[in-house]
Amino acid sequence: ARMTLELPDDLRREIVDHARSGAPEEVVGVLAGRRGDPSRVDRVYRATNVANCPEVRYEIEPTAELELLERIDGAGFDVVGFYHSHPHGPLEPSDTDARLAAWPDHSYVIVSLAAEPAIGSWRWRGDRFEAEPVRIG
């Protein structure tokens, strides 16, 4: 059975705005809320992309990531997953995205700005990405 991700419309807009403001570099952030099926995003935390080639990949500095995760935990939320943008690229996760994915059963949201902004989500299964529906509401 496929998992579902629930994403409130205002948070969807926030992610798209972040992607637009960061282009042509990829942006990255953490999704917080309730993890499960469905997972629900209640808050979005922007992070800084420190990748050496930020146009085509993303990376959160480890100390900054740890601080974000502690803030999320302190606020009483689960880490639901992560989001990043593909300023020119397809909506699907890249091979690089799969190599970097480290959180099984968490959601990886991608924003593509290639044409109209589009958003999709994939649940990392430890060895592959599985597309999941995004319910905007």
Active site residues: 26
Give the separation between CA 70 and CA 13, rounded to whole angstroms.
Answer: 25
What is the rounded distance in angstroms from the CA atom of residue 20 to the CA atom of residue 96? 21
| In contact, 81 and 130? CB cutoff 8 Å | no
The one-letter amino acid at 13 = R
For residue 75, with 0-12 CB atoms within 10 Å meaning exposed, 13-18 middle and 19 or more buried, which class applies? exposed
